[in-house]
Every structure is written in structure tokens, then in C-alpha cells.
Amino acid sequence: MLNILKYGEIMSLDISVIKTDSNATKLCLLGSIDNDTFNNLKSKLDEVIAAATGAIVVDMAEVEMVTSAGIGVLTAALKLAQRKNVEFAMVNLQPQVKKVFEIMRLMPILNVFESQLELDDYLKRIQRRIQEDGGFTSI
């Protein structure tokens, strides 16, 4: 799908929250994370992280664009999740969005996965480690 923005056009961001069977909360985003939408995402992430007992996964498959405001929200959410000892990951980044994270040199810091399968494998390893060791340490 090709979207052409006109100057000054306001994009929206739809956020769906889904609890998964693996004790994770998945946020599915649709639209753009920019100066007009980042506060809504921040509020939802703060709410989800506060209630989280497992992992938080942000599905970026339908995110068309991210600005510095969006980057700030996502990195702040990662730090908040880490303080709560909650795993935070992003999956399915569009090439143009992934490039922004690469340019900002955030790819090694954020847990970014190419696919849901890759993410699920990672989460399984974490859960096995918790069962075996009785504690949580990032892999």
C-alpha cells in the first residue's frame, strides 16, 4: 500500500492490545508514530508496562513512519520495562522504519525481531531459563 502524504496532513495511530497465551502483551500499531500520535502511544505503553507480568511485544508491521518523538517513546518504554524486569521487544519493522532505528544506532539496544517466529523462539528461551534458574536475565 502506497500512501502519499500532503504537507500538513495529520496521520493517526491505532493501537490494539492483545494478551497472548504465553503471558505476553502484544501491542499492534497501525499508522505513524509522530508528534501528533506519540502521546497516545506513551500513555498506552505506560499502562501496559505497569500491569505487565510477562513480555511486551510491539508489532510494527503496520507502522508507516516514525519520528524522533516516536523513537523517544519506544526507548523510554524499553527503560521502564527493564526497571520492572519485563522483557520488551519489537517485531515486523517495515524497511523504512527499521532504517531509522539503524541510523539512530538503536538496533543493538532494542530487541528487534524480523518475524513472530524469531520472537517466539527468543521468548521460549527466556521462559526456559526462568524455569531452570528461577530468575530472569536477558539472553
65: domain CATH number is: 3.30.750.24
Task: 8-17: list long-range contacts, CB under 8 Å, 24+ apart.
Answer: 10/36, 11/36, 11/37, 11/64, 11/65, 12/36, 12/37, 13/37, 13/40, 13/41, 15/40, 15/41, 15/44, 17/44, 17/48
Give a yes or no: residue 136 inside a domain: no
The tally of domains found in the chain comes to 1
pLDDT of residue 42: 96
Q: What is the pLDDT of residue 114?
A: 72
Residue 63 lies in a domain: yes
Residue 89 domain flag: yes
State which H helix or E strand residue 125 sits in: helix 116-133
Predicted pLDDT at 58: 93
Tell me the average pLDDT of the chain. Answer: 80
pTM: 0.76
7 within a domain of the structure (yes/no):
no
Q: Is 134 within a domain? A: no
Q: Is the dihedral angle over the CA atoms 63, 137, 127, 122 positive or is it negative?
A: positive
- Give me the residues of the chain with pLDDT under 70, please: 1-11, 22, 106-110, 113, 123, 126-127, 130-131, 134-139
Residue 86: domain span: 14-115
Q: Classify residue 25: in a domain, yes or no.
A: yes
Residue 128 in any domain: the answer is no
Q: Is residue 130 part of a domain?
A: no
